[in-house]
Structure 1
C-alpha cells in the first residue's frame, strides 16, 4: 500500500525513514551523511523505493541535537510571551535566543523548555522541502516516544519517572501530571542512569517506568525501587505509529513543536496549498463550463436569428413579389407602413417591440408598494402579461389593477378566489394600451 506519510528519525549514527502505511512501517536506514542535500536526496530515493513519493513528514530529532532546561518563574505575567520564555531559557543554554528555536511547557512554578540550533536544522529542513517533503512537525524523538508511551495507557501518566534507554544514550524524564518537567540525556550505563535518577529526586520508594534493556541497572542504585519494564520490541514511535499519523493529519500536537519561527514554514499559504489548488482547479472547470454554456447559448441564438431572418425573407417575398430582398428588411417594412398610413389618412407610429425583460421591468416597477400581497407567478406572452398572486382582501385586487392602468396598461377585471385559510388569490391579464402612448419605464426610488 502506498504510504500516506513519513517519519524521519535522527539516530545515533544515521537517519531512518519510516513509511506510514498499513502493515508496513519498517525503518529504512539512510547512510550516515553530513551534507543536508545528500540526506534529502537519499530520503527521496528511499521514499520512491518503498513505493511512495516524498510527502508529509514528521521529523524526530535525536536527543544530542536538542538542548533542554527547566527554570522557575514567579508568575505567569513574567513569562506571558514566547520571547520572554526564550530569553529566560537563554540564561541556561550555551546558545543565544536569536540562534535557537524553542518551545515550552508551562507548569505552576516552572517552565520546561527545549531548543535546537536554527542554523543546523534549517538547512536540513529546506533541503527536504526542495525534494518534495512537506514538513508537518519537528520534535525531539525522545519526547515523541514518551508521549506515545503515556498515550498508550492512562496509568503511565501517574509515573514520576520514565527511562527510555537505547544502545548509546538513555533519556531520563521526571513527570508532572503526566508531562515532562525535567529531561536528562545520559550515557547508557548503570552508574550514569542511577546517578541521574537520584539527582532528579528518585528514592528507594520511587516507582520508575523503564523502556529498554537492563532494567536492573536502576535497581542497583534504587534497591527497593519499583522498576517496571515496558515491552522492549522497538522504538515506541514505530510500534505505535498512530500518534505520528495523527500529527500528519493535524489531529494531535506534540508536547514540543519546533517547526516554528526560524524553522517554520516560510510560505504562509502552504498549510492550505492543496485546498487552494483544488479551488483553482474547480474555478478553471467552472470557467470552462461557463464558456461552453455561453458558446452553446450563442449558437442557439445564432440559429434563432437565422431562422427569423429566413422567415422575414419569406414574408418580404410574399409581400413584395418580384423584388430582391434588401439587407435592411425592417427599415423597408417600416417605410411601407408609413406610406400606407399616409394614403389611408391614419397617423400612427410604427408598433414598438419590447423584449420580455423590459415588460417585466415595467410591470414590477408599477406594482403598488403600500399593500401587503404576494406575487406567485408572472408570465409574459408577446405583449400580454399574466400575473397571479395572493391578497389579504378582495378590494386590494382592484388597487393592483388600478396601479397598472395608471401606468398605461389595459387590464382586464381581476379574477379572484377565496383561500381556505385566509386571504384571496387573484389573477390579472394586462397588455400595453393601443392609444399610441405605450408604456414607459418609470424611475422609482428604492
Structure 2
C-alpha cells in the first residue's frame, strides 16, 4: 500500500513514518505537549501534509511507556470473549481504574495477555485530528506491531522463547509461548539494565531458553551471549531491523485491510461517536437510492394489483357468460365458479370419470339402414324393432337359420356392427331370430 502513514506518539514527542516505494521514511521527532491537543493536532496535520496530499488514513502507534501489560489466568472460557470482564481482571495490575483505560487482549484457552492505555490525553488528540480530516484507522502499541512482523518472519521451531528488540534508547523484551506473548518488558538501553532484566525473567525458567536478538548492538549482544540462562539464536532475516521499521511494515498490511492488529485500541472511548462521519455523503446518497427503490417497488406493486384486479373482473364476466350458456334463465349466483364446480361434481357422480359429452345416435338413421338392408327376395316377418340409446334390436321370423345370417350380413353392408344372430326353431315351422347392431363409431370409441 503506497504512502501508508504511521503516527508514533511518545510520552514527550511525536514522529511520522511512511512506507513508500523508496522504503521507510521517518520525519524528525517533534516535541509533544499533551495539555494542548488542538495545537499538537494542527502541527501533526501540517506534518502529514508536508509528505502527502489528500485524505489521510493513518495508524497511530503508541510508544511502550504509554502502555501497561499483564498476563493472568481466565476464570472461565466465557471471559475470553468479553472485553469488559478482562478489563476488570486487569485492573489489579494497573494504576488506573478499569473505566479510565482502553483494553485489548490476546487469549488462549486459560490465560489472557492484556494491554491497557490511559485514554484521556489520547482521546482528545485523536478527536482534534479527526476534526481536521485525518482518518485514524487503527491504534496499537508500536512494539506489538513490530513483534507481529518479527514473529511472521522468524525461523524458529521452539514453542517457548524470548525476543529482544532494539527501540532507540531502550529495548523491548518479549516472552513468547506458542506464538503468543505472555510477558512484555520495556527496558532502558544501558546494558546493565538489560542484563539485569534478563536475569530476573530467567529465574522462573528451568532450562535455558532461546533468545532472538533484533537490532541489538554488538556490545550488548556480546554480553548477552555470555549469559548461561539463554541460548542466542542467530536469525539472518533482517536481524538489524529496528522496532519502528518492523512496525511500519506491519502497518502497511493493517491499513490495506489484509491484516488486523493483534492489540487494537480503536474501541470504547477511543472510537468516534459518529463512526460513519467520513462517508456521510455516500450514506445519504445510499439512503436516497434505497428510498427511490422502495417507492419504485411500491408503484410497481400497485400497478400489478390493478392489473390483477382487471383480470379478475374479466374472468368473472367470462364465468358469468359460461353460466348463462349452461343454465339459461337461472339467476347468476355470487360464486359462479363454485356453482359450476358443484354442478360438475354432480355430473361426475352420475357418469363417473367420463369427460366426453354423451354420444347421441339418430334412431331414424338406424331404422333407415335396417329397412334398406332387408333382402327383397326372401320371405321374413319382423316382429319387433327396438332402439335403446345407440343400439338396434330386431326380432323376427324366417324359414331357415341361414336366412337370419343373411339378414345380419346385409346389415353389415350398410356399415353397422352386427353381432352373430341368435336363432331357435319354432314348434310348428320356421325360425325366430334376434339381431343386435350399432353404428361403428361407438364401438371404436370415436366421437361422432
Taking a change above 3 Å as real, the CA distance of residues 177 and 7 of structure 1, as seen in their structure-2 partners, is same
1:147-296 to 2 correspondences below 5 Å: 147-153=148-154, 155=156, 158=159, 160-201=161-202, 205-214=208-217, 215-222=221-228, 225-228=231-234, 231-235=238-242, 237-238=244-245, 241-270=248-277, 273-274=278-279, 277-281=281-285
Partner residue in 2 for 1:10: 9
1:211 Cα deviation after fit: 0.8
| Farther-moved stretch of structure 1 (139-148 vs 114-123) | 114-123
Q: TM-score, normalised by structure 2?
A: 0.59
Q: TM-score, normalised by structure 1?
A: 0.59
Is residue 140–residue 256 contact of structure 1 (8 Å, CA) maintained in 2?
A: yes
1:147 Cα deviation after fit: 0.5
Output the CA distance in 2 between the equivalents of 1:218 and 1:169.
15
Is residue 13–residue 30 contact of structure 2 (8 Å, CA) maintained in 1?
A: yes
Partner residue in 2 for 1:31: 30
Asked if 1:362 corresponds to 2:369, the answer is no
Partner residue in 1 for 2:103: 102
Is residue 73–residue 112 contact of structure 2 (8 Å, CA) maintained in 1?
A: yes
Is residue 146–residue 250 contact of structure 2 (8 Å, CA) maintained in 1?
A: no
Give a deviation string over 1:124-182, Cα, whole Å, max 9, x none.
21122121111111111001100011122464784610011223111100011111111
Output the CA distance in 1 between the equivalents of 2:137 and 2:306.
59
1:187 Cα deviation after fit: 1.0
Taking a change above 3 Å as real, the CA distance of residues 204 and 27 of structure 1, as seen in their structure-2 partners, is same
Output the CA distance in 2 between the equivalents of 1:196 and 1:87.
28
SS in 1 for 2:24: coil
Taking a change above 3 Å as real, the CA distance of residues 123 and 359 of structure 1, as seen in their structure-2 partners, is closer
Is residue 70–residue 90 contact of structure 2 (8 Å, CA) maintained in 1?
A: yes
Output the CA distance in 2 between the equivalents of 1:268 and 1:131.
15
1:105 Cα deviation after fit: 1.7
Taking a change above 3 Å as real, the CA distance of residues 242 and 186 of structure 1, as seen in their structure-2 partners, is closer
Output the CA distance in 2 between the equivalents of 1:80 and 1:359.
55
Is residue 166–residue 243 contact of structure 2 (8 Å, CA) maintained in 1?
A: no
Output the CA distance in 2 between the equivalents of 1:76 and 1:175.
21
SS in 1 for 2:65: helix
Taking a change above 3 Å as real, the CA distance of residues 53 and 46 of structure 1, as seen in their structure-2 partners, is farther
| Farther-moved stretch of structure 1 (138-147 vs 86-95) | 86-95
Asked if 1:137 corresponds to 2:138, the answer is yes
| Farther-moved stretch of structure 1 (88-97 vs 151-160) | 151-160
Taking a change above 3 Å as real, the CA distance of residues 128 and 407 of structure 1, as seen in their structure-2 partners, is farther
Output the CA distance in 2 between the equivalents of 1:205 and 1:240.
29
Is residue 207–residue 226 contact of structure 1 (8 Å, CA) maintained in 2?
A: yes
1:372-411 to 2 correspondences below 5 Å: 403=319
Output the CA distance in 2 between the equivalents of 1:48 and 1:93.
37
1:343-362 to 2 correspondences below 5 Å: 362=310
1:45 Cα deviation after fit: 1.3
Partner residue in 1 for 2:113: 112
Is residue 167–residue 243 contact of structure 2 (8 Å, CA) maintained in 1?
A: no
1:402-441 to 2 correspondences below 5 Å: 403=319
Output the CA distance in 2 between the equivalents of 1:157 and 1:45.
46
Aligned-residue Cα RMSD (Å) equals 3.8
Is residue 159–residue 208 contact of structure 1 (8 Å, CA) maintained in 2?
A: no
Output the CA distance in 2 between the equivalents of 1:283 and 1:74.
45
Taking a change above 3 Å as real, the CA distance of residues 242 and 190 of structure 1, as seen in their structure-2 partners, is closer
Structure exhibiting the larger radius of gyration computed from Cα positions? 2
1:46 Cα deviation after fit: 2.0
Output the CA distance in 2 between the equivalents of 1:161 and 1:50.
37
Give a deviation string over 1:204-224, Cα, whole Å, max 9, x none.
732101112232232233376
Relative contact order higher in (CA < 8 Å, ≥ 6 apart): 2
Asked if 1:57 corresponds to 2:64, the answer is no
Number of aligned residues: 310
Output the CA distance in 2 between the equivalents of 1:31 and 1:261.
28
Runs of 5+ in structure 2 lacking a partner?
A: 293-304, 325-448
Output the CA distance in 1 between the equivalents of 2:62 and 2:159.
26
